[in-house]
Amino acid sequence: MKFFIDGADIQEIESLAMMGLVDGVTTNPSIIAKSGRNIHKVIEEICDVVSGPVSAEVVSDDAEGMLREAGSLAKIAPNVTIKVPLTEEGLKACYRLRERDVMVNVTLCFSAAQALLAAKAGATFISPFVGRLDDIGHDGLGLIEEIVTIYENDPLITTEVLVASVRNPMHIVTAAQLGAHVATAPASVFRQMLNHPLTNAGLEKFKQDWQASGQTI
pLDDT in tens, 81-101: 999 999 999 999 999 999 999
Q: Which CATH number fits domain 2-213: 3.30.70.1140, 3.30.1540.10, 3.20.20.70, 3.30.365.10?
A: 3.20.20.70
pLDDT in tens, 122-156: 999 999 999 999 999 999 999 999 999 999 999 99
First to last CA, the chain: 37
204 residue type, one letter:
E
Nearest to 10 by CA among 38, 44, 33, 40: 44
The answer to whether 86 and 107 have CB atoms below 8 angstroms apart is yes
pLDDT in tens, 14-53: 999 999 999 999 999 999 999 999 999 999 999 999 999 9
Q: Is the dihedral of CA 113, 119, 122, 123 positive or negative?
A: positive
Q: What is the DSSP letter of 121?
A: T
d(CA 181, CA 210): 42
pLDDT in tens, 164-213: 999 999 999 999 999 999 999 999 999 999 999 999 999 999 999 999 99
The answer to whether 25 and 7 have CB atoms below 8 angstroms apart is yes
Angle between helical axes of 10-17 and 39-49 (0-180°, round to 10): 10
d(CA 22, CA 82): 18
- Active centre residues (catalytic): 83
The answer to whether 166 and 192 have CB atoms below 8 angstroms apart is no
Q: Give residue 82's pLDDT.
A: 98
